[in-house]
Amino acid sequence: MRAVFRSLRVRNMRLFTAGQITKLVGVWMLFIAQDWLVLDLTDNSATALGLVTALQFTPVLLLTLYGGKLADRFDKQKLLVLCNCVFAVLALGLGVLIATHLVVLWHVYAFAAAVGMTSAIETPTRQAFWSELVEPELLPNALSLGSATFNVARLVGPAIAGVLIAWIGTGPVILVTGVMAILAVLLQLRIRPADLLRKPPGNVAARDARVIDGLRYVWGRPDLVLVMTLVLVLGLMAFNFQLTLAVLAKTVFHTGAEAFGLITSALAAGALCGALVAALRRNRPSVYAVLLSAILFATFETVLGFAPTFWLAIVLAVPTGFFMIYFAQAANQRVQLGVDPQFRGRVMALHVLVFFGTTPVGAPLIGWIAEEYGARASIWLGGLASLACTLVVALVQLRRSHATVLLHLRPRPHLHVTEPGSDGSPALELRMPATVR
């Protein structure tokens, strides 16, 4: 356990992590309350829920690359404080509208779009800020703990929200999330700028942080292009649980908000385990670790879509969540640990863009599938499409690298992949489950 949490020995890392847990628990409480509110306002319309999700993520398409530029130009700590203050104001405003019974559907649409604009600036800035908190040798662990923080929030937030919505209603729950964002700001303000690992304070000129230069940098790196291709496909088709699980719980299993929170928490519990396992990694993950975790994630999601009972769906949600976050974290680490520092903000902005920016396209599509063919189909079709695309990418990688793949059944089942080195000797071995030497 000391190895898992070793980066928390750094004071700034502890403060930032505590702030992230506080804020993100509130974010997930808000998402659950928002989704439940939309279903109540629209008589369980999956299409309306998909539209709200799309509005929330559309600004990612428009502003994330610009957010990465801002992260490379300005003080990341100050940008994060500003974004969290805006989020707090938005949450408090929507909470008041709900509590006073003045809320209508277009208010939720406008709120979702405004939160999306804030997130488009905050997310790439936060992703790039981890490298300023700890030494390079602690960065893989810090990134994994950042992911674990996200999943602790996703585990705790929906469970709390499900209980509180049934007890006090959606309005007060959203008001609580605004207060939690304010607490996160107070913790972030305690971070010592003098202890951050960055260049001397001073803004970077706009000409030295152009978006086009970041795009050219990524295009010239095939290793980054492959990872972002996978992230694009799975982000489009597989990462829609915010939508699909709500519809599955309410329309297929005919359960309430508490059960919706339970299945979401089961997914997050598996994701938390995946993040903690990833925290043990000390080096940049191989491309095959990314590919294998993507294949397993897509496979378990496909099986989850066919779950005949609510409790079996909860059981299957655990390994689905595990490989979901293991893939996401492996992809994130492969990008973060392979990029030059001066491009980190813009590259991470592109990573966020291809991950979350597909949601405005994927969410309405998945919502339409759920409404026309059922919630189960929206899950297993997404998993099956992701699996097929990942297998194609894996075949391209194996062919391009002239790799050899062997499946051994003894002494235990494992996959063995070797790439010829410059001298003809094996350069890499991969064993199931994703152990790389």
CA of residue 373 relative to chain centroid, distance? 27
Per-residue confidence (pLDDT) for residue 428, from 0 to 100: 47
- Residue 131: name the closest of 430, 342, 279 by CA: 342
Spatial separation of the C-alpha atoms in residues 336 and 344, rounded to whole Å: 7
The helix (run of H) or strand (run of E) holding residue 268 is helix 257-278
Residue 426 preceded by cis peptide, ω within 30: no
pLDDT band per the 50, 70, 90 thresholds, residue 41: confident
Give the DSSP letter of residue 2: T
Compute the Cα dihedral for 65, 77, 133, 146 and give only its sign. Answer: negative
- The yes-or-no verdict on residue 3 having pLDDT over 80 is no
Q: What is the per-residue pLDDT across 230-263, written as a single tens digit (0 to 9) for each? A: 888 888 887 777 667 777 776 677 666 666 777 7
- Residue 223: name the closest of 346, 433, 61, 401 by CA: 401
Please report the DSSP string for 272-309 in residue order. Answer: HHHHHHHTT--SPPPHHHHHHHHHHHHHHHHHHHT--S
Q: What is the per-residue pLDDT across 263-299, written as a single tens digit (0 to 9) for each? A: 777 887 888 788 778 777 777 788 888 888 899 999 9
Token readout for 38 is 């939309």
Q: Which residue has the higher pLDDT, 275 or 155?
A: 275
- Measure Cα distances from 244 to 113, 247, 348 in Å: 20, 5, 27
Q: Is the pTM of this model over 0.75?
A: no
- The yes-or-no verdict on residue 57 having pLDDT over 80 is no
Q: What is the per-residue pLDDT across 89-120, written as a single tens digit (0 to 9) for each? A: 999 988 888 888 888 888 888 888 898 888 88
- The yes-or-no verdict on residue 75 having pLDDT over 90 is no
Q: What is the per-residue pLDDT across 398-420, written as a single tens digit (0 to 9) for each? A: 877 777 777 777 777 666 777 66
Could you give all domains of the chain from N- to C-terminal order, each with its CATH number?
6-401 (1.20.1250.20), 402-437 (no CATH)
